[in-house]
A and B are shown apart, each in its own frame.
Chain A
Amino acid sequence: MSGAPVLDVRGLAYAYPDGHQALFGVDLQVGRGERVSLLGPNGAGKTTLVLHLNGILTAGAGAVTVSGLPVTKANLGEIRRRVGIVFQDPDDQLFMPTVRDDVAFGPANLGLRGDQLDSRVHRALDQVGMVEFVDRPPHHLSFGQRRRVAVATVLAMEPEILVLDEPSSNLDPASRRELAEILRSLDVTVLMVTHDLPYALELCERAVVLSGGVIAADGPTRDLLSDADLMARHRLELPYGFTVPTP
């Protein structure tokens, strides 16, 4: 880690309006340029945590800071530029009539217009290899292509941290590998929520385990996945036949 962390979560607790408490004091720091995977069983509070990072949910206690800027109502515009969330279902993320309009949506909300906007759109689509589909309606793309465009919609805002919710879900193996290559080529801090442990190992040096609303483990992905006790305690399992390769 160099300098101040891009993402600094301290003592974050949150209960839903119906009383169900999802987070019980989460502490997490992510440094610039890191790729961190966020692991944990269903219901551990992963999505709740993600929705705090750009101020969709407001912390009950504790604080979230992005590159020194606290997540508060007054800062929401800038926070949402800095934190780019790619949601799980690309059909939720792609809501405009064409790929171009969709990728332009974020930067246009930031006030960009004309050539500046066009070059942002082009650069973002270029980063995910989807430039040639710029005028297509999103529903005419394959699922893997839609996932890549969803990543581009967020890259176009030039975020400081890219947050991916289950990036490999529903992808065929080739699309999954292509997305990994794209993510590896990006020069951006990544926080990746996933159940796909081999994917986490492939892409992220560091992993954190969120379980029961707290960070239960934080360390090199390889070490965490090799710790059978830890894995069993938090309902994490490697796929059949998979062993963590020794370096």
Chain B
Amino acid sequence: MGAPHGHALHFHGHSPVHRLPAHVKIVVLVGYVLAVVATPRGVFWPYAAHLLALAGAVAVSRVPLAHLAKRLVIEVPFVVFALVLPFVATGPRTAVGPVEISQPGLEAAAALLAKGTLGVLASLLLAATTEPRDIVAGFEKLRLPQPLVQIMSFMLRYTEVVAADLGRMRVARESRGFRARSVRQWPALGATLGALFIRSYERGERVHLAMLSRGYTGRLPTLRPLTATGSQWAASGLLPIACGLVSAAAVLAG
């Protein structure tokens, strides 16, 4: 809770990027990531171009850089993997200070880092400018199968309910003197998770009853029909198309 829209990734605003329908943004994001991933190995100038293009989108969205930068930490596990690469990869070695590291490993690590960072940054921009429920509506518009759409929608709605359940169980546990200090106490934690599963399952059954009672027939009604204008498609399509051309040029040049 706390944030005005109850969602830590979202940054409230009314920029053209915010107003862009969710399904357009999802298509643009996928296109952009594909263009970035298509950058050939061994060249690095295209990443600068990709970053510049994305920076343009960020500027239009008016989402503060600090907002995105803070959330980039989600990338850390991948960074660790990338840092290990130069040491474990084979191939010709170069000396960096006192240690010898793999030249191809170093290049692969740099490319991985660049692609990963750009992908995460672009996804964060989507998350910052789109309400979670609109992202779900966007997927629905893009013909994602109904069961998946419904699972996402219910996850959005019930994450906090289940978390509150879990919190109450923790309080109840600790009120009776429980503290998870060693492995021997894990069975109690396991039992908690089991009970949480049963509770959530039973809640699922009750929610289903409530849905049937209001005429549910297997499809959630589409309440927010998304429509995009040609100019919205054209303007936002510039990002993946420009980056795609950059990658293509890099392939041809190399």
Q: Which residues of A contact B (CB under 8 A)?
A: 51, 54, 56, 77, 80-81, 83-85, 87, 89, 91-98, 100-101, 104-106, 108-110, 117, 137-140, 153-154, 157
Q: Of the 9-residue stretches B98-106, B113-121, B153-161, which lies at the interface with chain A? A: B153-161
Cβ contact of B214, chosen from A51, A109, A138, cutoff 8 A: A109
Cα–Cα, bound, A85→B154 (Å): 21
Per DSSP, chain A at the interface is: helix
B223 touches A104 (CB 8 A): yes
Report if A97-B161 is in contact (Cβ < 8 Å); known contacts: A81-B215, A105-B214, A109-B217.
Answer: no
Q: Does any Cβ of A come within 8 Å of B78's Cβ?
A: no
Cα–Cα, bound, A137→B214 (Å): 19
Report if A106-B210 is in contact (Cβ < 8 Å); known contacts: A97-B133, A97-B157, A98-B133.
Answer: no
B160 touches A139 (CB 8 A): yes
Per-position binary interface string of chain B over residues 205-223, scored 1 when its CB falls under 8 Å from any chain A CB and 0 otherwise: 0110111111111001101
CB contacts (< 8 Å) of B168 on chain A: these are none
Q: Does any Cβ of A come within 8 Å of B179's Cβ?
A: no
Cα–Cα, bound, A80→B210 (Å): 11
Report if A97-B209 is in contact (Cβ < 8 Å); known contacts: A92-B203, A106-B214.
Answer: no
Cβ contact of B161, chosen from A98, A139, A154, cutoff 8 A: A139
Q: Which 10 A-B pairs have the closest CB atoms?
A: A108-B221, A109-B215, A97-B133, A106-B214, A92-B206, A93-B210, A85-B213, A139-B160, A80-B215, A92-B207
A104 touches B221 (CB 8 A): yes
Report if A97-B156 is in contact (Cβ < 8 Å); known contacts: A56-B209, A81-B215.
Answer: yes
Report if A110-B215 is in contact (Cβ < 8 Å); known contacts: A104-B223, A139-B6.
Answer: yes
CB contacts (< 8 Å) of B158 on chain A: these are 91, 95
Cα–Cα, bound, A54→B215 (Å): 10
B221 touches A109 (CB 8 A): yes
| Closest beta carbon of chain A to B55's beta carbon, Å | 31
Cβ contact of A95, chosen from B136, B157, B221, B223, cutoff 8 A: B157
Q: List 8 A-B contacts (CB under 8 A).
A: A83-B213, A91-B203, A96-B153, A97-B157, A104-B221, A105-B214, A106-B214, A109-B214
